[in-house]
Structure 1
């Protein structure tokens, strides 16, 4: 082998070893970079999943809050409308009571209430009050019942009130009290059973 062939062989062998060594370094570096990339990708996926879960929970909470707020506003509006309707119903009821008080049946009702109060008192001293608007039928009621009546200073719309002082009893058959009791206990019930 000549010197030039030896140099060429040495050069080829050196180049081959350098290539193998360079390829090994590149492969090692590529594997290291691939591992870093895979770790980074895995970390990024975990972070994105965690963020998606957090955002999903946050979105659900916002939807629930908005839904609760809307339901509350709806209930407020429903209550307001029901109160307005309730007031209208009882305005109409008061008008019907006023119309009823102009009939002969109303005087019969007063007489019946007076007789029940007298029977309940069972001889005890009692004061029976009629409404100021019923003063015009006072004497006919007194004649029919045989009881002295007192015109109340308070307007209780109609009906009677009787006081048995000995027993500390108030018999309240006034329309004002009856209407107020009905108003207080009146509820609109929805078609789905919700009051």
Structure 2
């Protein structure tokens, strides 16, 4: 083989070797880029999912806040409405009490209250108070019952209050007290 042939052969082997190395480098570089692309895609997907989850959680949180705010507003409105209804109901009850106080049944009820106190505590010193608006009944009640009956200086919506001082007992049959007890217990349920 001549030098030129040897040179040509050397050049061919060198070129082939360079091409092989270049192809290997290119293949390696392409594989590295492909790997980097996959890592980038995975990271992008993960970040997108995290961002999506964060947005969903933010929306849920905002919805919960709005729901809580709406519930509070509804409860406030409901409580206000219940209070209004309660006031109206007890205004009606007060009117019915006022109407009842003009009936003979009311006078019979007063007499029954006084009699029940006398039946239980008649042997003790006691004072029975009637409402200031019932002062017209005082003479009739004193003639019917042999006990100390007085007009109370403040209005208690009717009924009677009895005091037995030696036993420290107050018997309160006043409509005002009963009405207050009912107002405390009164609840509107849905």
Distance in 1 of aligned mates of 2:3 and 2:161: 142
Moved more, 25-34 or 126-135: 25-34
Taking structure 1 as the reference length, the TM-score comes to 0.87
Distance in 2 of aligned mates of 1:179 and 1:95: 12
| Residue of structure 1 equivalent to 2:131 | 131
| Residue of structure 1 equivalent to 2:56 | 56
| Residue of structure 2 equivalent to 1:121 | 121
- Structure 1, unaligned runs of 5 or more: 191-195
Matching of residue 110 in structure 1 with residue 110 in structure 2: yes
Query: How many angstroms does 1:123 deviate by?
Result: 1.1
Query: How many angstroms does 1:161 deviate by?
Result: 0.4
Moved more, 1-10 or 75-84: 1-10
Moved more, 58-67 or 135-144: 58-67
| Residue of structure 2 equivalent to 1:193 | none
Distance in 1 of aligned mates of 2:189 and 2:11: 102
Equivalent residues in 2 for 1:15-30, closer than 5 Å: 15-30=15-30
Moved more, 139-148 or 71-80: 139-148
> Does the CA contact (< 8 Å) of 2:126 and 2:147 recur in 1?
no
| Residue of structure 2 equivalent to 1:144 | 144
Equivalent residues in 2 for 1:28-177, closer than 5 Å: 28-177=28-177
Query: How many angstroms does 1:82 deviate by?
Result: 0.5
Q: Secondary structure at the match of 1:73?
A: helix
Distance in 2 of aligned mates of 1:168 and 1:13: 127
Taking structure 2 as the reference length, the TM-score comes to 0.89
Distance in 1 of aligned mates of 2:147 and 2:33: 112
Query: How many angstroms does 1:5 deviate by?
Result: 6.9
Distance in 1 of aligned mates of 2:145 and 2:106: 15
RMSD: 2.1
Query: How many angstroms does 1:3 deviate by?
Result: 7.7
| Residue of structure 1 equivalent to 2:184 | 184
